[in-house]
Amino acid sequence: MIGQLYYTILYEPIFNALIGIYHILPWKDFGVAIILVTLGIKIILYFPSLSSIKSQRALQEIQPKLDAIREKYKNEKEKMSQELMKFYKENKVNPFSSCLPLLIQFPILIALYRVFIGGLTLDPATGILVPDQLQYLYDGLRSIYDHTPLSTMFLGFIDMSRSKNVVLAVLAAGFQFWQARMLEKRKPKVKTEGAKDEALAANINRQMMYLFPLMTLYFGYVFPAGLTLYWLVSTLFTIAQQYYIFKKHPVKTDAPLPTPQVH
C-alpha cells in the first residue's frame, strides 16, 4: 500500500511531467525538460523554502540576544532551555523550520533517483521505453511512447541517464558551497564567553559547509547526470532566493545585547 502510494503521488507525476514536457518541446531535449520540471518543483516549494530562508535570517539577527540568554543562564541548563524556547515563541521564530524544505525535498530526490536509475530504461535496439516503465506513463503519453523512440540527451551530447559527468558534479558541488557560504557570511560571531555550545555548533556548521559539497561532488559523479542537473538547478534557484531575502532584509548584527529578565 505504501509503495503504491509512493508511485501514485511522487514517481508517476514526476515521470510523466518529464516525458510530457520532453514531448511538447520542439527540439526534444531531455535536459531542458529536467530543468523545467526542477523549476516547477521549486515553485511548488517556493513558500516553504522562503519561510526557511527567512527563519535562518531571523535566527542570525537575534543571535546576540540568544547569546545573552545563554550567558545569563550558563549554569542553569534547564532554565536556559526554558528561556530560549520562550524567546523563540515570543519572537515567532522556529529554529527547526529551516529543515522543512530538506525534509520535503528528500522523497522527491528519491523519486527522481528512481526515475533516472530505472525509469529511463530504453530498448537499445529501438530507443523505446521498456514495458516495465511504459506502465507508469499516463494513457495519452503511453499511446505515443509505446512505439516512439525517446532521447535522453541534453544539448545533443550529455546523456542524462548516464553517470560520471564530472562537469555537472563539480558545478553542483561548487554552487552548493556558494549557497552555504552565503549563509555563513551573514552569521554574527559568537561573542559571549558562556556560549560554548553555540561556538561548537558554529564549528560543526562550518565543517558541514565543506562536507556537503564534497558529498554532492561524489554523488553527482556516481549518480545519473539527470539527478545532478536537478540538484544544480535547484541550488541555483535557492541561491537566488537567498540573495533576494538577504538583500531585502539585511541582518542587523550591531544591536546592543539585551539583558534577559529573570522570571
256 lies in some domain: no
**What pTM, to 2 d.p., does this model score?**
0.74
Report, as an integer, the average pLDDT of 25-48: 88
262 lies in some domain: no
Lowest-confidence region among 33-37, 110-114, 201-205: 201-205
Q: How close are the terminal C-alpha atoms of the chain, in Å?
A: 51
Query: Could you report the per-residue pLDDT of 238-249, keeping only the tens digit for each?
Result: 888 888 877 776
Cell of 102: 530538506
| Tally of domains in the chain | 1
210 lies in some domain: yes
Question: DSSP character for 137?
Answer: S
Q: 154 — phi, psi (to 5°)?
A: -120, 125
At 257, the pLDDT band (50, 70, 90 cuts) reads very low
Report, as an integer, the average pLDDT of 26-34: 93
Lowest-confidence region among 16-20, 56-60, 106-110: 56-60
Q: What percent of the chain has pLDDT over 90?
A: 30
**Using CA atoms, how far apart are residues 68 and 70, in angstroms rounded to an integer?**
5
258 lies in some domain: no
Question: DSSP character for 115?
Answer: I
Determine the angle formed by the axes of helices 225-248 and 30-44, rounding to 10 degrees.
40
Judge whether 148 and 134 are in contact, CB under 8 Å. no
The CA-atom distances, in angstroms, between 138 and each of 11, 14, 171, 229 are 12, 11, 34, 25
At 56, the pLDDT band (50, 70, 90 cuts) reads low
254 lies in some domain: no
Query: Could you report the per-residue pLDDT of 57-93, keeping only the tens digit for each?
Result: 666 677 778 778 878 887 888 888 888 888 877 776 6
Sequence letter at residue 48: P
Taking 3-state DSSP, the helix, strand and coil percentages for the chain, each rounded to the nearest 5, stand at: 70, 0, 30
Cell of 208: 558541514
- Max intra-chain CA distance, the chain: 76
At 256, the pLDDT band (50, 70, 90 cuts) reads very low
Cell of 12: 508517476
Residue 241's domain comprises: 2-248
Query: Could you report the per-residue pLDDT of 155-207, keeping only the tens digit for each?
Result: 989 999 888 999 999 999 999 898 888 766 555 454 444 444 444 445 555 66
Per-residue pLDDT for 138 more than 80?
yes
- H or E, element range at 142: helix 139-145
**Using CA atoms, how far apart are residues 22 and 29, in angstroms rounded to an integer?**
6
